[in-house]
Amino acid sequence: MESCRAAGWLFLHGFGVVEDAARAEALFKKACLGKDTKACMDLAVEYHHWHEWPSKPSAAVAEASQHELVCARGEQRGCLALALDVLRHPDELSGFQGTVGKTALKTAEDACAASNVEACLTLLEIAWQDDVKPRAEVMSARLLEMCLAGEARACEPIVNHHWPNKTADEQRSLRKEIYLKSCEFAQAECRAGRAEECSFAVACAGQYGDEPRGREATRAELTYHACVSGRDFKECAALAYLFESAKGVPRDLEKARFFNLAACQHGVYDGCSRVIARLQKEGQGPEIDKKIFELAKMSCRMDKRDPGGLTGCMDLADLYENGRGTQKDVEKAVEIWTAACRLMVAACNELRFRSRPVPPDSADADEP
């Protein structure tokens, strides 16, 4: 079953194979049903990440379903995870009340008392949402105890907390200590391949001048881990920029091209645009145009969450209209602008400029 989980991860992140979220989901579920608990828990987390999942319930329901499977096997981490799910999304997960019922809060409180960071964080989050300040103070104090005892993951949520029983100088000193522990945790997690921790790890590197190798070198190392170990392709584009500009690493245009291309192949527009810019500097001609066209196709993503991907679609339409790198196809360009018009006004303007019909559900349909 471990091999099914591993194969699922490869298909989910496009490592050596074409990304295929449906196939990845099937492999994870096969492993999960084969009693590979890690597969169940990993899939629950992945449902909250941006993948092209097949039709499914909301991320919260899908995640809770995986935790319920683990809990039904008598594994307490599944039961705790399900309890935390229900506390975070009480309305959306009302159907799971029969599984955890009114015990969800007590389950979380017992886990927090036993130094489970995730349980304490959830209880703190709920206290903030419900504006229950006394409870928030209790949870913050509990997290502070764990943070100062070396549980670095407990530090980040309370970095900017105001401690009412501390003087201004004590507040500053404590805040710095918490920040450094939080940064230490994020960097360790980033180096271990947890890409979600790398953004903060890079940002906090050297904030207090405590990086022996220098801030830029440390940031470059963490960006490398985020890209290569964490498979965060936005960080691959950032790494390419560091190689281009010699920030923390020796200037290396071949490595910059490699990481930009890896980012581009996984839908990161910045990676595509930099490779295109480099090609345009190298010269002109049909072969260069063909390469630019292929890159533009990779960069185009019709998703309003991805402004860069939409810009890539605009670039692709321009190439079709002008017949650069491909057969001239004005109707294909119009097709792209029409699809993009539902998500960005610029595409609608391209249609209007050419006296083409604008879809009724255009991005600017509600404008006067």
DSSP sequence for 34-78: TT-HHHHHHHHHHTTS-----S-S-HHHHHHHHHHHHHHTT-HHH
Query: Distance between CA 318 and CA 333 in Å, rounded?
Result: 7
Spacing of C-alpha 305 from chain mean position: 12
pLDDT-above-70 percentage for the chain: 92
Residue of 98 and 137 predicted with greater confidence: 137
Q: In sequence order, what are the residues at sequence separation of 6 or more whose Cβ sits closer than 8 angstroms to the Cβ of residue 87?
A: 104, 105, 108, 122, 123, 126
In this prediction, residue 14 has a pLDDT band, given cuts at 50, 70 and 90, of low
Query: Distance between CA 341 and CA 112 in Å, rounded?
Result: 49
- Predicted confidence (pLDDT) per residue in 174-222, tens digit: 888 888 888 888 888 888 877 777 877 887 877 765 566 778 888 899 9
Q: pTM of the predicted model, to two decimals?
A: 0.56
Is 259 within 8 Å of 271 (Cβ atoms)?
yes
Using CA atoms, how far residue 59 sits from 62, 313, 348, in Å, is 5, 28, 32
Position 228 pLDDT exceeds 60: yes
Average pLDDT over all residues of the chain: 84
pLDDT given for residue 351 in this prediction: 93
